[in-house]
Copies of this chain bind each other. A is one copy, B any other.
Amino acid sequence: MTSLSTIQYQDIRQLAAARTPGHGLVSRFYGDPIVHQADLETIWFHGWLFVGHSCQLKTPGDYLTLQVDSEPVVVIRNDDGRLGAFSNICRHRGTILCNDTSGHAGRLVCPYHQWTYDRGGQLVSCRGMDDDLDTSTLGLHRFAVEETGGLVFVSLAATPPPFDVAAQHIGPAATPQGLERARVAATVDYRLRANWKIVWENNRECFHCNANHPQYILANFDHYNTDDTSPQIQAAIDAATQRSQHKWAASGLEVTHTRTGMATFPAPGPDGWVAVNRTPLVDGYLSETMNGQQVAPLMGDYADPDVGTLRMRTMPNFWNHSSCDHSVSTRLLPDGPHHTRIQVTWLVDESAEADRDYQLEDIMPFWQLTSEQDWAICENVQRGVTSRHYSPGPLSTAKEYNVDAL
């Protein structure tokens, strides 16, 4: 893939500028290879991408791999306990170094001719090469990597944007959830026939929730919006807010989303790629499970199951929904203009043991059903927006403010 020309960039900027205010994007944003190239260069190969969880990379040598469109990446725990992120290809002839999605490696040994890199990416052995070879210039291509609150992020940019906004917001909010002391209970992978922007547009409004998410709306208030919140519902929200504020104050938790509707996104900071909030659940719901009951041991610092739900999102590829007893992370990765790879991961406390302390069939359905309902919609939208008779319609200011902002 070569870079875009100035003319191609101009063309895309004009296209974006021509959007009717308060309306969706035109067809080309959902399938055109040139627009996709621009998405990669300005968003995916620039910003901070969620990789996985610190608890998946506990011991030096633990690694995770991911493929950001054309780019293979490996993230590995270094001997000093810090993370390194590298282009997952050998500096000799370009072979993929780590083929598995996760693993543990003393050193990274290329399967082709056994060039060997240490956990810091330095080339430490290349038997058979000429003696005068300057191996110091042949370390793995390095990417920026950061972790905060048990979440690991990488940036493929030469000069990554500041990470502090994430550290400031995610760190404190996520600490009581104890993601560093969690472990993965289950992972499900999807490959959607939909452009990644359709997945986000779907995620960022709950206008579609009533008809599509029968489970979700029983547990949550945020599908109500300014236009359909009856006094009775507002009273229930206020009661839940006050009850929670009072109770949570004792344990240092905070209600940060007290209005109806979804938290506005982007939320904090000038860059606005991070959003975190904690919200009470509907009375009777202690966890986002099918019946609202707690189904696994409490995570992190929680001493009482009544902690509402913690929600975190980072653009362009991550969201998480945490309950008192389990946490669900969703990771998006583009795979060409027409496909998105999605990984959904369920975490529980590290001490929890399957079958003894929890059942997968108790912790998974709530978000698995809700996610798959969304994936079906997204594929359906993709088929429509590539028609020549598609013209972007108006967005609801009450219910789709986030889609507009995106």
Contact = CB atoms under 8 A, between A and B. Distances in A.
A384 interface: yes
Interface string A1-41: 11000000000000000000000100010000000000000
A394 B128 CA distance: 12
A232 interface: no
Interface in A88-108: 88-96, 99
A93 B227 CA distance: 20
A51 to B, nearest CB: 16
A273 to B, nearest CB: 23
A234 interface: no
A116 to B, nearest CB: 11
A99 B380 contact: yes
A59 interface: no
B389 A96 contact: no
A70 B28 CA distance: 13
A129 B394 contact: yes
A139 B164 CA distance: 47
Contacts of A392: 93-94
A393 B391 CA distance: 45
Contact of A1 (B90, B141, B210, B388): B388
Interface stretch (A179-187, A359-367, A396-404): A396-404
B211 A377 contact: no
Interface in A196-240: 201, 207-208, 210-212, 225, 227-228
Contacts of A92: 393-394
A95 B128 contact: no
A141 B133 CA distance: 53
30 contacts: A1-B388, A2-B28, A24-B94, A70-B386, A70-B388, A71-B387, A71-B389, A72-B387, A87-B387, A87-B389, A87-B390, A89-B385, A89-B387, A94-B381, A94-B384, A94-B387, A94-B392, A96-B384, A111-B212, A111-B377, A111-B380, A112-B377, A112-B380, A113-B211, A113-B399, A114-B211, A128-B399, A129-B398, A130-B397, A133-B394
Interface of A: 1-2, 24, 28, 45, 70-72, 87-96, 99, 111-114, 127-130, 133, 138, 141, 201, 207-208, 210-212, 225, 227-228, 377, 380-381, 383-394, 396-399
